Amino acid sequence: MAKPGRIERCMGRVEFRAAEEEILHMHRMGYANKHIYAKLAEEGKLSLAYSTFNGHLRKLLQAKSPTHPDKKPTLIVDKEASMVFTIPSNGNI
């Protein structure tokens, strides 16, 4: 049984998943996490804590982002300068 003022265990995840499409749409539109949370909480779609919301959103975005763990970084060797440059496999410099 949940304490007064709290939701049942794991129900925050259920609420988050129910609003997942709207959350992702607002995130793609450029809304900050706190604005997404505030809007959905005001509409009564979320009653979980803001920190829990951020944790679920972070996990969701990590799962949606493309990753290539088997791809190795590219090495560029400048023989004249005797230097080796590494280019990350994810394209970030």
Domain count, the chain: 1
51 domain residue, yes or no: yes
91 domain residue, yes or no: no
Mean pLDDT of the chain: 79
Residue 8's pLDDT is 74
Contact present, 12 and 49 (Cβ < 8 Å)? yes
Residue 88's pLDDT is 62
Residue 72 pLDDT more than 90? no
Q: Which domain holds residue 55?
A: 11-64
48 domain residue, yes or no: yes
Residue 66 pLDDT more than 70? no
CA distances to 11, 24, 32 from 28, in Å: 25, 6, 10
pTM (2 d.p.): 0.63
> What residues have CB less than 8 Å from 74, skipping those under 6 apart?
86, 87, 89
